[in-house]
């Protein structure tokens, strides 16, 4: 089933945590796509590689990689996700990193829902090819 692209106003009407909930899956699909392109390997290795990119610490770092590239609107969406209340931080995570990761997920969710797939690819490429990993 194809989805209908939302207008920016419709997507902004969603809460920051709702955007993050959806954006988490968008971000993970991009990570998994890159990992499977590396070639066939056991599933446990695929999972370990994915976890290098899909965790609060890395996603917080990813924000630093792209922060200067974000438009004013994108920064606003990031901040809505980061500052959302009602988000319980797991014990295994640093609260600052977790909130920034939530902001990144909200951004990816917003971009996807508004049909900005080229922008997602552009930002993700910068993140995935950054030096940290």
Higher pLDDT: 74 or 4? It is: 74
Catalytic residue ranges: 24
Structural domain span for residue 62:
18-128
Query: Given a cut of 50, is residue 1 above it in pLDDT?
Result: no
Residue 132, pLDDT score: 66
Is residue 33 one of the residues assigned to a domain?
A: yes
Report the C-alpha gap between 133 and 26 in whole angstroms: 20
pLDDT digits (tens, 9 = 90+) for 71-130: 999 999 999 999 987 767 777 778 899 999 999 999 999 999 999 999 999 999 999 988
Is residue 9 one of the residues assigned to a domain?
A: no
Is residue 7 one of the residues assigned to a domain?
A: no
Report the C-alpha gap between 75 and 2 in whole angstroms: 28
Is residue 107 one of the residues assigned to a domain?
A: yes
Number of domains comprising the chain: 1
Q: pTM here?
A: 0.91
Residue 2, pLDDT score: 62
Is residue 81 one of the residues assigned to a domain?
A: yes
CATH number of the domain enclosing 121: 1.10.1520.10
Is residue 8 one of the residues assigned to a domain?
A: no
């Amino acid at each position: 089933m194809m989805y209908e692209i939302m207008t920016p106003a419709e997507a902004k009407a969603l809460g920051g945590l709702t955007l993050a909930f959806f954006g988490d899956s968008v971000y993970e699909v991009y990570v998994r796509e890159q990992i499977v392109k590396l070639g066939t390997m056991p599933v446990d290795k695929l999972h370990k590689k994915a976890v290098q990119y899909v965790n609060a610490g890395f996603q917080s770092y990813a924000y630093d990689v792209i922060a200067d590239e974000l438009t004013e609107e994108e920064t606003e969406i990031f901040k809505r996700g980061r500052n959302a209340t009602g988000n319980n931080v797991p014990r295994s995570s640093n609260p600052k990193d977790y909130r920034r990761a939530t902001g990144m997920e909200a951004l990816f969710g917003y971009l996807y829902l508004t049909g900005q797939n080229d922008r997602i690819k552009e930002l993700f490429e910068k993140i995935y090819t950054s030096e940290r990993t």
